[in-house]
Amino acid sequence: MHPSVAPTITEIPVADQGAGPYGITAGPDRSLWLTFAHNGRIARLSLDGELEEYALDSAGCRPLVITPGPDGALWFTRSQDHRIGRITTDGEATSFDVPTPGSGPFGITAGPDDAVWFTQMNTDRIGRITSEGEITEFVLPGEGGYPSGITSGPDGALWFTLNQANAIGRITTDGDTVLHPLPTPSAAPVGITSDGDALWFVEIAAGAVGRISVDGTIKEFPLPDSTSKPHAIVAASPGDCWFTEWGANRVGRVTASGEIAEYDLPSPSSEPHGIALGPDGALWVALETGGVARVAP
């Protein structure tokens, strides 16, 4: 699809406004899995629109980002009670306490090593958790960096955003870390994804999308609206990424050449957060006001 060809966007209500759909991912069961940040629930949405909700053991645990794990379950961060959650496709949930107190886990991704990796916003650490729940923590250089998004890179390492240190980090599975400062000051990177060739990220404060190659070369693409607050990003294919604009009620698309297209969401002020590539080839977006948007190229 050429970026100028508008996709078809449909909205599916999944919760009331108090639930706060936030994170979304495609599960191994060909369904979409969502976090409801405000009422402590995980939801499963089938492609035909059937919704199942699973209440967690704490309504106030604030589940945020969710990812499929290497074990066939879904793993998610609980930022309010500082735990890592796991839920099977049958809806059985467990959770594991992060050793460092007050860690504020946020981003989470399956690693290349049969483990799950996550960021700790409040304590400048990257965590690794095995399928059995054993957690290892790696301390990052500097203080107050606010590690946020994390993804597996094409080079066998993990790549993450440092929202307040204004950098992109790379950590090997052994814990060796390198930080790459961003050219734009105070850009505040959040979401990050790999397209199989390079890493793409969004700068929520600068209103831009960035690309970093595995050798650390960074290129930034400013969005037409610098106040659009891009939040999450996902790759559909190499050189084809989609992102949410939380502050502008849009989804955007960026190509390898830096061409940007933006599309308005149907409901005003729907607060788009997480975005995922669905098993049907469409993009799926979690809307904090209670819906899911399906964006079909």
Residues marked active site are found at 273
Cβ burial, residue 103 (10 Å; 0-12/13-18/19+): buried
Q: How far is CA 67 from the centre of its chain?
A: 8
Q: Rounded to whole angstroms, how far apart are CA atoms 249 and 272?
A: 6
Element (H, E) at 50: none
The owner of tokens 């929520």 is 204
Show the tokens assigned to 59: 């309504």
- 55 CA to centre of own chain: 21
* No. of helices (H) and no. of strands (E), the chain: 0, 28
* Residues pairing with 179 in the sheet: 169
Residue 270's SS3 state is: coil
Residues 284 and 32 sit within 8 Å (Cβ to Cβ): yes
